[in-house]
């Protein structure tokens, strides 16, 4: 397996507190992820807000630099690339963001962002060719050019705006699209069409996706493998069927158990996993971050952070419940995420 995009043990620390304070906030701690160059994949990164998933997305996109570890594209570290390599990276790794309104400059019509992409990457030699490319991209995501072009962002619905963004990302024929919570601000009924267009990009056009979300149901439906984040640490990684159907880490179990089932007959009545404290203090201790909320917590959990244990050939969980399994090497973790 050759790696197209790889995060090798990346960490990111921010300076919290004021000018004189040395307080650090560890947003992401030792996360590894691989996107295979040989076959298109869909990887989900799941977690609550504050879990570090957006930080990981920004590291992958090269918007910020890791404090530790390496972020590689085609084997080359992002901050060591020269101009041409950077350009090629920019083109091959695109993104879709969460807020379908904020991503548009309110001064311009929605055409602006599409035209800019074509222009800056030299995708077309003439206005007519550019127009064709844009209309084609819009049709690929299920929009009608005559109903979309020439309009201002506030004249389209949230779902339409988000789909225009998918079209924009697609225009550049990227190899990877990082979608940061693309449907969480869109109505539940409109989510399917957007996710469907993303799936189409993957299945028909071979684009790999990194799908960042807090919604496990859509993560399950869309992706092949999943990475669970909790307060900056990777707690579980592996094939999505296995992780969702048979969650191992207590946090994953809590999440999966909290999903509102679309079946009134299956109402959750108080189950065993009750959350003991609802807000957690900024965790500066050495132990497992989930210790305060974990129903299975033991003494060792508070002393040191568990490493990722390889519980199945392509699955790893960071919890002392599985300490009998071998510690996962970074290659094994990478393979689990691919």
Site for other proteins in 205-244 (CB under 8 A): 214-218, 220-221, 241, 244
Residues 268-297 that bind other proteins (CB under 8 A): 268, 275, 278-279
C-beta atoms surrounding 133 within 10 Å: 17
In the structure encoding, which two tokens stand for residue 174, read together? 């990227």
Dist. CA 288–CA 283, nearest whole Å: 9
Q: Determine the interface stretch with other proteins among 12-20, 132-140, 256-264, 305-313 (rule: CB under 8 A).
A: 256-264
Q: Is 195 in the site for other proteins (CB under 8 A)?
A: yes
Dist. CA 332–CA 72, nearest whole Å: 17
Q: Is 196 in the site for other proteins (CB under 8 A)?
A: yes
Q: Which of 189, 272, 284, 299 binds other proteins (CB under 8 A)?
A: 189
Q: Distance from first CA to last CA of the chain, Å, rounded?
A: 10
Dist. CA 169–CA 166, nearest whole Å: 5
Q: Determine the interface stretch with other proteins among 126-134, 144-152, 301-309, 322-330 (rule: CB under 8 A).
A: 144-152
Size of the site for other proteins (CB under 8 A): 71
Q: Which of 267, 272, 284, 286 binds other proteins (CB under 8 A)?
A: 267
Residues 145-164 that bind other proteins (CB under 8 A): 147, 150-152, 154-155, 157-160
Residues 2-61 that bind other proteins (CB under 8 A): 48-49, 61
- Give 128 or 188: the residue with its C-beta nearer to other proteins: 188
C-beta atoms surrounding 179 within 10 Å: 28
Q: Which of 2, 136, 258, 329 binds other proteins (CB under 8 A)?
A: 258
Q: Smallest distance, Å, CB 326 to other proteins?
A: 30
Q: Cβ distance 195 to 218 under 8 Å?
A: yes
CB neighbour list of residue 246: distance below 8 Å, 6 or more residues apart: none
Q: Cβ distance 253 to 293 under 8 Å?
A: no
In the structure encoding, which two tokens stand for residue 38, read together? 């040989």
């Amino acid at each position: 397996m050759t790696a197209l995009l790889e995060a090798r043990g990346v960490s990111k620390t921010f300076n919290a507190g004021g000018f004189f304070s040395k307080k650090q906030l560890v947003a992401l701690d030792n996360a590894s992820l691989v996107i295979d160059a040989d076959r298109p994949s869909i990887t989900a990164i799941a977690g609550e807000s504050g879990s570090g998933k957006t930080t990981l997305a920004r590291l992958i996109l090269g918007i910020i630099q890791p404090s530790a570890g390496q972020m590689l594209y085609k084997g080359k570290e992002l901050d060591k690339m020269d101009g041409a390599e950077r350009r090629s990276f920019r083109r091959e790794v695109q993104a879709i963001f969460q807020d379908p309104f904020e991503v548009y400059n309110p001064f311009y019509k929605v055409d602006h962002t599409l035209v800019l992409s074509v222009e800056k990457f030299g995708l077309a030699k003439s206005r007519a060719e550019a127009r064709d490319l844009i209309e084609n991209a819009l049709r690929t995501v299920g929009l009608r050019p005559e109903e979309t072009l020439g309009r201002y962002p506030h004249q389209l619905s949230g779902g339409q705006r988000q789909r225009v963004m998918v079209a924009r990302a697609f225009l550049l024929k990227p190899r990877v699209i990082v979608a940061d919570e693309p449907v969480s601000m869109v109505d539940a009924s409109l989510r399917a069409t957007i996710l469907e267009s993303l799936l189409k990009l993957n299945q028909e056009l071979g684009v790999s996706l990194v799908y960042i979300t807090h919604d496990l149901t859509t993560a399950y439906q869309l992706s092949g493998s999943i990475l669970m984040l909790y307060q900056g640490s990777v707690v579980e990684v592996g094939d999505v069927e296995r992780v969702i159907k048979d969650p191992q880490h207590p946090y994953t179990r809590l999440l999966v158990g909290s999903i509102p089932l679309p079946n009134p007959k299956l109402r959750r009545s108080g189950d065993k996993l009750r959350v003991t404290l609802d807000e957690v203090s900024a965790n500066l201790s050495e132990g497992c971050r989930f210790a305060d909320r974990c129903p299975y917590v033991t003494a060792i959990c508070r002393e040191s952070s568990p490493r990722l244990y390889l519980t199945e050939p392509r699955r790893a969980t960071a919890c002392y419940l599985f300490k009998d399994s071998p510690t996962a090497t970074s290659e094994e973790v990478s393979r689990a995420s691919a």
